Amino acid sequence: MQEAVFRPIPAEPRQAKVRVHLNVRDISKLGWKRSFQVLWAVVKGMSMTWRHLFRKPVTFDYPNQKRAQSPRFRGVHRLQRYSDGKERCVGCGLCSVVCPSNAIYLEAAENTPDNMVSHGERHARFYQIDMLRCIFCGFCEEACPEDAIVLGPNWEAASTHRDDFIYTKERLLVPLEKKDEWFRRGMTWPGEAPDTVPTSTDLPEYYMKLKKKEERKKKKEAASA
């Protein structure tokens, strides 16, 4: 049987050898051409750092500053109203049928002469969207014959509670006092003012920058032609 070999414990722990790959002495050994290349790389790197120190930051101080959204951005839904305050939704259920995620649940009820909620025969008594299921495809907006459901510009839908992602009718419906002010798309009720769609001039900073860039590009192209 082989005897166990005990190695003596070193008196002092071994020091790890640290290799410095490049120091001033090494540079002098490199030859003038290679040394110049190394120093040039350092100068180039540092100049980049200094340039960025004085540049306007590209990041935003969220939530104090918010980036403008594209007019075609599809965020959290809204249930629209006519300017007389009535709901656009007539409870037809097309949005629910077309939804590929099965995120919309609604129950329709008849309008009565005492309770005309919409201009149609029926209205949505109960309407709910599960935002955790929604993939923001916009099919519901496309399918809606009344332009009642639209995907608005709100993208701040984060929460730590699952229940907060169930958007009930009360949360989706445009508040009465904001019915004209809020962004609307689609058809209007007879006699209503035409719908207002935000244009690039409504979203100043970002789009004006893009516009200027495009103009500069066109000028350059025209000058070179």
**Beta strands in the chain, from DSSP E residues, in sequence order:** 77-79, 104-110, 122-130, 149-151, 166-168
Residue 182: what residue type? W
**Nearer to ligand SF4 (CB atom), residue 165 or residue 207:** 165
Task: Pull the structure tokens for residue 222.
Answer: 């025209």
Q: Which residues pair with 130 in a beta bridge?
A: 166
Residue 145: what residue type? P
Residue 77: phi and psi, rounded to 5, are -70, 160
The least distance separating ligand SF4 from the CB of residue 110, rounded to whole angstroms, comes to 14
Binding site for ligand SF4 (CB under 6 A): 89-95, 98-101, 103-104, 106, 124, 129, 134-140, 143-144, 146, 148-149
**Nearer to ligand SF4 (CB atom), residue 148 or residue 174:** 148
**Nearer to ligand SF4 (CB atom), residue 27 or residue 131:** 131
The least distance separating ligand SF4 from the CB of residue 170, rounded to whole angstroms, comes to 15
The least distance separating ligand SF4 from the CB of residue 181, rounded to whole angstroms, comes to 21
Q: Give dist(CA 106, CA 200) in Å, integer.
A: 35
**Nearer to ligand SF4 (CB atom), residue 143 or residue 203:** 143
Q: Give dist(CA 89, CA 173) in Å, integer.
A: 10
The least distance separating ligand SF4 from the CB of residue 67, rounded to whole angstroms, comes to 22
